[in-house]
């Protein structure tokens, strides 16, 4: 991608040449006192007007100055300041002319400092024209020239501009490195406006990356427990604001307040997304409301200032208001009493600004926000005319011609207007889509797509493809095309996600739930409901599909969604990262007596799809109506019943039966006909944390008839078979110690594990009886150190790694960890411990068992953490518990599991099934499902 951040999010920054040069001394030799006095007054007036953002007035004063001076170097200074002012009002031709005149003078009268200033002006011009690489090179020359002449601050200013160009080019990490270097340079220097700007930009780019280096030791200025990088960004912005306030730099302060509003809005998004997956007081709705209100206050303060960013602040406040009104926190914000009047007033302010691409982009964003607002308030029919007129005016201003009878068929010549044009057409299409004018909607959206493809703007392209897919899906006649368009959307998303994979937890990344997952789910729904009407994409060809083919494609799409979910979680590309061939689940099903069951929640129903174990094709589809709230209640009651040590008896039986009826009963007769040995549940996010082994039909558990396992999107590799018993090697490690989540010295949170020693000894005894004595290596207590663990897995080709220690896995990688005897090791730490193995040994860890670990309490998607551990350690499969299980019952289940595995006759799934069945024969509490059903096997079950 040429740029990873849309041009819509790149504001042209205020230029600093003028301020720097206008404040310098005038060259007054040979002038009369009257001329000298007049020039001095003109200089002051020009500087004052420029600093206040009155650029037309500044231009007038500078042109007067240019008429009064003949001194070459002074004329260069004035011309460069004129160029800066021309750029601020969008007069690029005049700016280019002023720069050219200055260059001619410098050719005849060289001076290095002014040559550097010329390069700085040239960079600003190139940046304004969207030529970011040229701008970067010009600013690079400027920084070097200023450095050679001892103008340190000017050199730093040019480096700051380099960082902006790098951001525009999508080179975020390079921009961050430049800003980190500048931050270290200015941190100990006196406060200046440049220092405040560096702090501001460093905060912005740090948010994009989702981290600040720990060695910088940037403190968190708040105690509201927001995630660390957002707290550190707040520290930087508050420091920048204080500097601007002390310097009485009102425009700079307003710009920082705008960014503070953006930061609080990003923090609201973080809290909202975190709360959706994991209930915690620090992200509860009341805390989210605080972030919303703080953001709106900052926006209001910035909007009330006499600054260039005041209109942008109003737009951002409107966008946040619309977003919140669409959420379950709508009462947090006041609904505008006269949105039409406010919109008209805001548009008037926009039109008062000089014509620029930034202004046109703001107009488009205003139209988009109004469309969303009026759609939700059912006022779109009466207000659509205003929005349509605004978008058409923006297109016309972009020098495009229209045929009035066919608004969206435009004569387009690729130029700098391209992005504005594409977004205008996209949002016109959106407006027509909501109005039900599908012909116009399709025409506009298709034209926008043609432009976006020519620009290679993938993020814009995916939005357009998604919209076009929705439009085409509305009509049965075009649903074949809709499927192809949805597939193209997913292909584009894959490319974007590959580019963004290095970003950590930044709010600038895609919101997976809002921007990626819905595309997959809409395609799944379309495939399931459209049946034999759809045409499925096969390579470069399309074929008419029967219903079973469409259902196969729906199952494949769910698997692709699961892979995308793990990739988003780990910031990786599973296919690209693996040199070993990966099998599809359908291929595996053909070669094993395994049936795949896919429960899929779409809108207001649960769909169940079953794949045949021999053919790999779909044999059954069942549909049941149920709301999201009803589904969540059933699944929560089921998990809670198990957690509370209840059984499918008496009044509790119904809770177990309801979930069984939801997931198994609709396809039970088909399963009986094909008689698979193993059921692999391909669970999407609504079902991932349920213990399928505990499914009960009122008479017996599902595991009485089948081994069960879970597929969360882990790749299935060709080399995933457990070695023969004589070739098997097992690492069994553990510690009896208890640990606190926050301190390696505390024993308060997690109790001790007295049965660990017995568990490890049992594993060793079982395999010693069946195989050579050195099959099992034990790391116990002090020997279970990070170094010993790493050395062991590197030196020995262990097929099974068994860790009997406390740990937790959740849907946040930072909240996924295990404990060695030395202390906590998080997900990245585990990857580092085992990285050397993949480099030195071709053998994969076939099975990772975390016998005392559990999912994070309350985390609705915590099973992702287990999948993440498997991927990061290179394990082909993993076993762990969905909740805390008693130490004694864990030891019993694990002992029986390995006894079954040691026979050499059982698959991983069957060995776990036999161990769970053995627990059902135990007395009292040991047979209850909380003692055995919460252990799940994910990944390869063979």
> Which position has the token pair 């896995």?
809
Whether the predicted pLDDT of 66 surpasses 70: yes
CATH class of 716-939: alpha beta
pLDDT higher at 624 or 222: 624
- Range name among 99-103, 393-397, 600-604, 741-745 with the lowest pLDDT average: 741-745
Reported as a pLDDT band with limits 50, 70 and 90, residue 277 is low
CATH class of 356-467: mainly alpha
Tell me the fold of 1-170: 1.25.40
Whether the predicted pLDDT of 337 surpasses 70: yes
The residues facing 807 across adjacent strands are 818, 853
Whether the predicted pLDDT of 212 surpasses 90: yes
The residues facing 582 across adjacent strands are 717
Reported as a pLDDT band with limits 50, 70 and 90, residue 278 is low
pLDDT of amino acid 878 = 93
At 625-641, the pLDDT tens digits run 999 999 999 999 999 99
When the pLDDT of each residue in the chain is averaged and rounded to a whole number, the result is 84
Cβ 598 vs Cβ 682: under 8 Å = yes
Packing angle, helices 756-770 and 887-901, rounded to 10: 10
State the pTM of this model: 0.83
The distance in angstroms from the start CA to the end CA of the chain is 41
Q: Which DSSP category does 191 fall into?
A: P
Q: How would you write 894-911 as a 3-class SS string?
A: HHHHHHHHCCCCCCHHHH
Whether the predicted pLDDT of 749 surpasses 80: no
* Mean pLDDT of the region 792-809: 89
Whether the predicted pLDDT of 176 surpasses 60: yes
Whether the predicted pLDDT of 657 surpasses 70: yes
pLDDT of amino acid 776 = 92
- Range name among 106-110, 576-580, 681-685 with the lowest pLDDT average: 576-580
Question: How many Cα atoms are found within 13 Å in the side-chain-facing hemisphere of 723?
Answer: 16
- Range name among 146-155, 190-199, 455-464, 475-484 with the lowest pLDDT average: 455-464
Strands 594-602 and 582-583: unpaired
Packing angle, helices 33-51 and 72-88, rounded to 10: 30
User: What kind and span of H or E run contains 734?
Assistant: strand 730-734
CATH number, span 590-711: 3.30.420
pLDDT of amino acid 570 = 74
Whether the predicted pLDDT of 624 surpasses 70: yes
pLDDT higher at 572 or 114: 114
pLDDT of amino acid 603 = 82
Reported as a pLDDT band with limits 50, 70 and 90, residue 13 is very low
Reported as a pLDDT band with limits 50, 70 and 90, residue 691 is very high
Kindly tell me the burial class for residue 36, based on how many C-beta atoms sit within 10 Å of its own C-beta (0-12, 13-18, 19 or more): middle
Lookup: tokens for 765: 């005894």
Reported as a pLDDT band with limits 50, 70 and 90, residue 836 is low
pLDDT of amino acid 514 = 76
Q: Which of 349-363, 458-472, 540-554, 562-576 has the highest mean pLDDT?
A: 458-472
Whether the predicted pLDDT of 507 surpasses 60: no
pLDDT of amino acid 403 = 40
pLDDT of amino acid 54 = 86
Cβ 469 vs Cβ 486: under 8 Å = yes
**Listed residue (523, 850, 561) closest to 683, CA to CA:** 561
pLDDT of amino acid 8 = 26
pLDDT of amino acid 12 = 29
The neighbour count for residue 630, using CB atoms within 10 Å, is: 12
Q: What are the φ and ψ backbone dihedral angles of 500, each rounded to 5 degrees?
A: -95, 5
- Range name among 281-290, 340-349, 516-525, 902-911 with the lowest pLDDT average: 281-290
pLDDT of amino acid 308 = 65
* Mean pLDDT of the region 187-197: 96
pLDDT of amino acid 372 = 93
pLDDT higher at 89 or 575: 89
At 848-906, the pLDDT tens digits run 999 988 776 667 677 778 888 888 778 899 999 988 888 999 999 999 999 999 998 99
Identical fold, 590-711 and 716-939: no
At 771-780, the pLDDT tens digits run 666 789 999 9
* Mean pLDDT of the region 321-325: 91
Lookup: tokens for 732: 């069994």
Reported as a pLDDT band with limits 50, 70 and 90, residue 405 is very low
Sequence ranges of the domains in the chain: 1-170, 186-317, 356-467, 475-577, 590-711, 716-939
* Mean pLDDT of the region 179-207: 96
Whole-number Å distance between alpha carbons of 475 and 462: 21
pLDDT of amino acid 807 = 87
At 542-588, the pLDDT tens digits run 444 456 688 889 988 998 998 888 887 776 766 544 544 445 565 65
Whole-number Å distance between alpha carbons of 613 and 651: 36
Whether the predicted pLDDT of 469 surpasses 70: yes
Query: Chain centroid to CA 805: how far?
Result: 32
Residues, the chain:
942
Lookup: tokens for 335: 């609904």
pLDDT of amino acid 96 = 94
pLDDT of amino acid 740 = 58
pLDDT of amino acid 25 = 35
Concatenate the DSSP letters of all residues of 738-787 into one string.
---SS-TT--SSS---TTHHHHHHHHHHHHHHHS-GGGEEEEEGGG--HH
Reported as a pLDDT band with limits 50, 70 and 90, residue 282 is low
- Whole-number percent of the chain with pLDDT over 70: 84
Whole-number Å distance between alpha carbons of 336 and 371: 15
């Amino acid at each position: 991608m040429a740029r990873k951040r849309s041009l819509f999010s790149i504001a042209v920054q205020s230029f600093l040449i003028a301020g720097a040069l206008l404040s310098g001394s005038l060259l007054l030799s040979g002038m009369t006192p009257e001329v000298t006095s007049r020039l001095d007054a003109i200089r002051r007036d020009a500087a004052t007007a420029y600093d206040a953002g009155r650029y037309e007035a500044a231009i007038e004063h500078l042109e007067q100055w240019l008429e009064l001076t003949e001194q070459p170097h002074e004329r260069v200074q004035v011309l460069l300041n004129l160029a800066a002012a021309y750029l601020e009002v969008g007069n690029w031709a005049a700016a280019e002319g002023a720069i050219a005149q200055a260059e001619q003078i410098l050719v005849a009268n060289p001076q290095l400092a002014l040559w550097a200033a010329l390069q700085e002006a040239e960079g600003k011009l190139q940046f304004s024209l969207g030529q970011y690489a040229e701008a970067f090179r010009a600013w690079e020359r400027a920084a070097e020239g200023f450095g050679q002449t001892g103008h340190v601050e000017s050199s730093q200013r040019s480096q700051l501009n380099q960082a902006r160009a790098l951001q525009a080019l999508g080179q975020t990490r390079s921009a961050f490195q430049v800003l980190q270097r500048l931050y270290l340079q200015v941190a100990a220097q006196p406060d200046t406006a440049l220092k405040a700007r560096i702090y501001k930009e460093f905060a912005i780019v740090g948010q994009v990356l989702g981290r600040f280096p720990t060695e910088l030791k940037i403190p968190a200025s708040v105690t509201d427990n927001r995630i660390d990088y957002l707290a550190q960004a707040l520290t930087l912005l508050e420091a920048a604001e204080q500097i601007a306030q002390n310097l009485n730099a009102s425009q700079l302060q307003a710009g920082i307040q705008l960014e503070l509003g953006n930061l609080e809005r990003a923090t609201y998004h973080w809290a909202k997304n975190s709360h959706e997956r994991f209930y915690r007081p620090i992200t509860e709705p009341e805390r989210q409301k605080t972030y919303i209100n703080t953001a709106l206050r900052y926006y209001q303060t910035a909007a009330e200032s006499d600054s260039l960013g005041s209109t942008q602040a109003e737009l951002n406040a409107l966008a946040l208001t619309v977003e919140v009104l669409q959420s379950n926190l709508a009462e947090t914000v006041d609904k505008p009493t006269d949105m039409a009047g406010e919109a008209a007033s805001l548009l008037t302010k926009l039109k008062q600004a000089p014509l620029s691409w930034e202004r046109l982009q703001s107009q488009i964003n205003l139209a988009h926000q109004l469309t969303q607002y009026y759609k939700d308030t059912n006022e779109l029919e009466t207000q659509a005319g205003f929005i349509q007129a605004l978008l058409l005016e923006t297109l016309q201003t972009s020098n495009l011609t229209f045929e009035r009878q066919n608004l969206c068929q435009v004569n387009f010549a690729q130029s700098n207007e391209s992005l504005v044009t594409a977004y205008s057409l996209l949002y016109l299409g959106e407006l027509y889509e909501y109005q039900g004018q599908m012909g116009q909607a399709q025409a506009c959206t298709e034209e926008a797509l043609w432009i976006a493809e020519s620009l290679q703007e993938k993020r814009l392209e995916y939005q357009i493809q998604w919209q076009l897919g929705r439009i085409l899906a509305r009509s049965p006649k075009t649903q074949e095309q809709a499927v192809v368009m949805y597939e193209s959307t997913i292909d584009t998303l894959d490319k974007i996600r590959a580019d963004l994979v290095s970003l950590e937890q930044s709010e600038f990344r895609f919101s997976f739930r809002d921007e990626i997952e819905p595309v997959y789910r809409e395609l799944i729904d379309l495939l399931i409901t459209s049946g034999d009407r759809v045409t499925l994409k096969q390579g470069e060809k399309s074929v008419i599909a029967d219903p079973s083919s469409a259902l196969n494609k729906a199952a494949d799409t769910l698997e692709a969604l699961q892979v995308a979910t793990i990739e988003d979680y780990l910031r990786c590309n599973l296919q690209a990262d693996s040199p070993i061939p990966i099998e599809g689940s359908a291929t595996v099903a053909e070669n094993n007596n395994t049936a795949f069951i896919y429960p899929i929640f779409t809108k207001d129903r649960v769909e169940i799809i079953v794949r045949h174990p021999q053919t790999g094709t779909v044999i059954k589809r069942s549909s049941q109506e149920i709301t999201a709230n009803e589904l969540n209640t059933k699944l929560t009651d089921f998990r809670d019943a198990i957690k509370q040590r209840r059984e499918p008896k008496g009044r509790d039986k119904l809770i177990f039966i309801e979930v069984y009826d939801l997931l198994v009963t609709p396809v039970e007769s088909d399963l009986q006909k094909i008689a698979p040995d193993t059921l692999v549940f391909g669970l999407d996010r609504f079902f991932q944390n349920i213990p399928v082994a505990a499914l009960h039909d009122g008479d017996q558990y599902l595991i009485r008839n089948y081994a069960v396992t879970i597929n969360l999107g882990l790749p299935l590799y060709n080399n995933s078979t457990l070695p023969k018993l004589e070739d098997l090697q097992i690492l069994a490690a553990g510690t009896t110690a208890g640990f606190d989540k926050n301190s390696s010295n505390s024993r308060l949170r997690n109790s001790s594990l007295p049965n660990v020693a017995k568990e490890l000894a049992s594993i060793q005894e079982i395999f010693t009886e069946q195989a050579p004595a050195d099959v099992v290596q034990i790391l116990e207590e002090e020997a279970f150190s990070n170094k010993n663990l790493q050395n062991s897995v590197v030196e020995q080709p262990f097929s099974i790694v068994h860790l009997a220690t406390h740990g937790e896995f959740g849907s946040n990688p930072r909240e996924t960890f295990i404990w060695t005897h030395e202390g906590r090791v998080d997900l990245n730490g585990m990857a580092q411990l085992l990285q050397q193995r993949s480099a030195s040994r071709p053998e994969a860890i076939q099975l990772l068992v975390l016998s005392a670990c559990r999912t994070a309490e309350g985390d609705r998607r915590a099973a992702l953490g287990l999948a993440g551990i498997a991927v990061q350690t290179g394990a082909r499969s993993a076993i762990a518990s969905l909740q805390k299980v008693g130490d004694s019952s864990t030891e019993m289940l694990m002992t029986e599991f390995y006894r079954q595995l040691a026979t050499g006759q059982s698959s991983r799934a069957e060995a776990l099934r036999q161990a769970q069945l053995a627990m059902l024969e135990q007395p009292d509490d040991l047979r209850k499902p909380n003692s055995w059903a919460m252990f799940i096997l994910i990944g390869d079950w063979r």
